[in-house]
Chains A and B, each alone.
Chain A
Amino acid sequence: MLGVLLMVVPLVGAVAIALSPSRAAKGIALVATLAGLGIAILAAIDFSDWGTGGWGLEYNLPLLPAMGISLALGADSVSMLLMLLTTLLMPLAILGSWTAVSDRLREYYGWLLLLSTAMIGVFLARDLLVFYICFEFTLVPMYFLIAIYGSTNRAWASLKFFIYTFLGSLFALAGFLYVAWANAEHAGAWSFAIPDLVHFASTGLTTGEQGWILLALMAGFAVKIPLFPVHTWLPLAHTEAPTAGSVLLAGVLLKLGTYGLFRFVLPMVPAAVVEWAPFMGVLAIIGILYAALICWVQTDVKKLVAYSSVSHLGFCVLGLLALNPLGLQGSVLYMINHGLSTGALFFLIGMMYERYHTRDMGTIGGLGSKMPVWSFFMVFFVLASVGLPGLNGFVSEFLCLLGTFAAGGTGAYPGVLGPWFAAAAALGMVFAAMYLLLMVGKIVFGSLREPSGVHSDLPADLNAREILVLVPLAIGCVVLGVQPDFVMHAIEGSIADTLASYPTAVTDATEILVGRGGMP
């Protein structure tokens, strides 16, 4: 029941907002999201399968018995972590928009809460159609958040965002339907239960069929991640979205793609993934390097961070494609870490924008002298993002690269990634240090440059509310940087399940490496 409650609480909040005057909207939204966070923490404490790959929060309500469709929910440790990330970011996103949004408040907070329901639904879904519906439905709130509350180019940005993702996920739907149909032919009855379909697809489909399914699913998930060359909607949407929109887009929505890879693509079509992993790996690396180079020449801070997401998510995909526990652990950790640090960066940029109404590094700079607290957090989260050892980014990036490196090491699966991929991707880390430090250098250090004639009611430096938004994220970064073990152990079982359908050779290869002491 807790699972249903997690989805229903924001929904109730949204309805309450619709029925009450607009000045109450903020408060209701905050209460609803804090309640959601509370339930999520309770659920996490209650969850007994950390590390074992079991399922909790289970709930099943048949919707369309004839088609085997039911409202089936459940969470394993990976879902649980991503759900925790979502529920943590929600109240922060609402606190972060406290003064930034002043118009059409009810719709704003209502859409945020609906978005929360849909995102949690994606992570908890145990039925393919429930997953698809929630996955699709995340588009609507985000579309309105961008289209109503975005900056100047919002109409085009929201349209592009919607069309790209919608088209992609329709292909994914076609793939899902094909799997469901093949399963129905095989089993004699329709079922959309994810475990049934995953089991059937990984064993019952030919390699050729798996290849087509892979293509269809990747069409859906690659757009969302986003993978080169279908990433072009992201910088636009990120730049135009209001702060909370960018935070949730980077923090959670992009993870829906990698989560889809983790939950569906890897376990469903193992043969095809082994065959196509090098190709997708190359795309990921192109994304890492290409987006990093674009970041280097950006003058708009928000656009820079947006492109850095494209680059960072490339590592995440690479870790998944390594097809070994190391890479997958790194990748799941990366999903959390990127949500924390990039989410925080978008908050920081939003706070700066609220004061100066510009994001142009040409007109603004040297804020260290005027906004020391803001600058502290900026430097902190940039370092977390760059991968400074001791902060969270390092661990996950290192694990992804190590997993990638090890993937081809034993020659059991020649061609499935390997040292060359790791080496090429590592170059991306160097680039990341360059562009992010360059940005910090320009806007934090040096002599103060401010656009003239800008007025804001906010104090020069951060106020208590804004610090309150950033502190939980900073704590998360430190904890996950210093002590990642507990998360890594927690997800071991789920990762083993996801990799269960892979030929043992792939797993063996990495166990040898871990036995040699390769595990950090």
Chain B
Amino acid sequence: MTERLWFLIPEFVVLVGAVSCAILGVSRSVTVRRSLPIVAFITLIIAFLASSYVYSPASMEIAIGPGAVPLPWLGRVVIPVVVIVGVLLVMVQAGFIDRSYEGEIAAGEARFNPLRTSRGEYYAFFLLSLCGLMLTAAAPDLVWLFLALELTSLPTYVMVAISRNDRRAQEAAMKYFFLGALSVAIFLFGFALLYGATGTMELMAMKDVLVARAADTGSIGSLATLGLLLSILGIAFKLAAAPLHLYAPDVYEGAASQVTAFLGFVPKAGGAIALMLILSVTGWMDDGGMLPDPILVTLWVMAVLTMTLGNIGALLQTRIKRMLAYSSISHSGYILIGIIAGPGAGFVAVLVYLLAYGIGNTATFAVLSSLRRGDCEVESIDDLAGLREKHPGLAWAMAISAGSLLGFPPLLGFWGKLLLFIAGVASGHLVLVVIAGVNSAISAWYYLRMVALPLTGAASSASGSIERREYGGPRLAALASVVLLILLPLLLQSMMDESADGVLSLEELTEVQQSQVAAVYDLP
């Protein structure tokens, strides 16, 4: 087991970064307090470098053995994704938390009081949550998976609550917390049933038991099926997938835009990765393995409901954050197509899509975070009308990120969706792909509003009072995201190659790695 610690170096780096942020955040020096985003940024970069170091062909030999995870190479793919989106998210956060308090201090109206500041905790929680996400990808057993998922989620409850001085933020945090606790109860119960059905917590051992049972009796047994269904249902909360999606609009709206950007990606990615791992116990990654029918049907129905309810919900909104919340729900539906399509092409598509969605989502919220009306946030979609006249750059960023979320060629979102659709068709779920296509067309309706209002609309009296925030972090994030959305398709082939390695099962990976090791070390 200690060998695995080697692979956790990136997570340790993030943990150290989180602790440093918590400490530096209470420093008396303004400069130090201001440097927190930079600390977070550097932490993520080091974590990325570390990940490319620890996941090498040579080190894989250590990991291959008892207690290995279902997708041993997954972390190698997830960490860069987390770091890319994480860095963009850091830029979105930069300069926003505690802003008024720091202003008071700078003006000499208040003295620095470590008890009043929350900047340190905020960045610490931010990094801890990302750390949880990275850990999720490495989970070999249910306990680890549960702890990693909770490490991802718990900081977000706090982040929502301290994000702004607004009753709605408190309300959102409470709602999010209690419903989150409910979902945890559901999937813990599922885990317990799985343990009861198999007598082990290890995912791979569990798989062996269930595959043997399926070979004997023809099914994995009702207890294990129920356990899996409950686990899926609980994880659906993290994904914001139907039927556990209803919290998303309220929470997204209540939290500050900066935090909403975070909520839109991190828990969702955690949920998607957890689903990939937990479904591996059915043995469908082995040759000829299939998902048991009840689980397949459940996922299928969930995907259709999630896409459809998300898109229709988004159509009906007039407030932009609620609309984006529903749109993020619909993206969970698309992600579920990739999960259903299964190991191989499906999972590759999920990983690419997570990156595409993460960047697009961050870009929209980065634009929203760059705008203000007085001290408040932009709320109505109509507030964006005529944004081009005063802030052309932000208007274009909004339009391009909406285009990518819609899946319009040649932006990154298109390629993500294309890979999902190809995987869906190739796994025989043509109907699901057609439903997703219709849903994309529905989503065109509201994404086009995000394109049309800023770029083609005329400024109204309501939108005239919208101003740009003074600090440039979110704008930088928007710019960087848009550049990535346009240019990353050029790297699609290598992204797919990396992701394809990431979702190889143990046996396949052993073969590939051995050939790679041979190629590296045994050159004639």
Contact = CB atoms under 8 A, between A and B. Distances in A.
A465 B430 CA distance: 53
B441 interface: yes
B408 interface: yes
Given A137-B409, A170-B437, A171-B434, A66 B497 contact: yes
Contact of B422 (A147, A148, A167, A177): A177
Contact of A174 (B408, B426, B437): B437
Contacts of A39: none
Given A66-B493, A137-B410, A173-B437, A181 B444 contact: no
A356 interface: no
A64 B496 contact: yes
Interface in B403-419: 403, 408-410, 414, 418
Contacts of A137: 408-410
B448 A159 contact: yes
Nearest to A172: B437
Given A147-B452, A155-B456, A177-B422, A170 B441 contact: yes
Interface string A137-169: 100100110011000000100110011001100
B409 A136 contact: yes
Given A132-B409, A133-B410, A174 B425 contact: yes
A162 B455 CA distance: 16
B122 interface: no
A63 interface: yes
A184 interface: yes
Contacts of A178: 425, 430
B24 interface: no
B357 interface: no
A64 B492 contact: yes
Given A67-B422, A132-B409, A140-B408, A167 B456 contact: no
A174 to B, nearest CB: 5
Most buried by A among B408, B414, B456: B456
A65 interface: yes
A166 B422 contact: no
A155 B421 contact: no
A137 B433 CA distance: 21
Contacts of A173: 421, 437
A18 to B, nearest CB: 11
Nearest to A139: B408
B456 A181 contact: no
Contacts of A163: 441, 444-445, 448
Contacts of B408: 136-137, 140
B426 A184 contact: yes
Interface string B233-270: 00000000000000000000000000000000000000
B485 to A, nearest CB: 14
Given A65-B493, A167-B438, A181 B445 contact: no
A64 B494 CA distance: 9
B404 to A, nearest CB: 12
A63 B493 contact: yes
A354 B437 CA distance: 41
Given A147-B452, A163-B441, A177 B433 contact: yes
B441 A166 contact: yes
B440 interface: yes
B421 A147 contact: no
B417 to A, nearest CB: 10
Contact of A181 (B403, B418, B425, B497): B425
Contacts of A181: 422, 425-426
Contacts of B410: 133, 137
B448 A144 contact: no
A137 B426 CA distance: 25
Interface string B485-512: 0000000110011001000000000000
Contacts of B426: 181, 184
Contacts of B500: 66
A211 B414 CA distance: 27
Given A173-B421, A181-B425, A147 B456 contact: yes
A66 B425 CA distance: 17
Given A132-B409, A166-B444, A184-B426, A174 B433 contact: yes
Q: Which of A133, A166, A178, A184 has the most C-beta atoms of chain B within 10 angstroms of its own C-beta?
A: A166
Nearest to A190: B422
Contacts of A155: 452, 456
Interface string B24-50: 000000000000000000000000000
Nearest to B456: A147
B353 to A, nearest CB: 15
Given A137-B410, A159-B452, 16 more contacts: A66-B493, A67-B422, A133-B410, A133-B414, A136-B408, A137-B408, A137-B409, A147-B456, A158-B452, A162-B448, A163-B441, A171-B437, A173-B437, A178-B425, A181-B422, A181-B426
21 contacts: A63-B492, A66-B496, A67-B422, A136-B408, A137-B409, A137-B410, A140-B403, A144-B455, A147-B455, A159-B445, A159-B452, A162-B444, A162-B448, A166-B440, A167-B444, A170-B440, A174-B421, A174-B430, A174-B433, A181-B422, A184-B426
Interface of B: 403, 408-410, 414, 418, 421-422, 425-426, 430, 433-434, 437-438, 440-441, 444-445, 448, 452, 455-456, 492-493, 496-497, 500
Q: What are the 5 closest A-B residue pairs judged by CB atoms, nearest first?
A: A167-B441, A170-B437, A133-B409, A147-B456, A177-B425
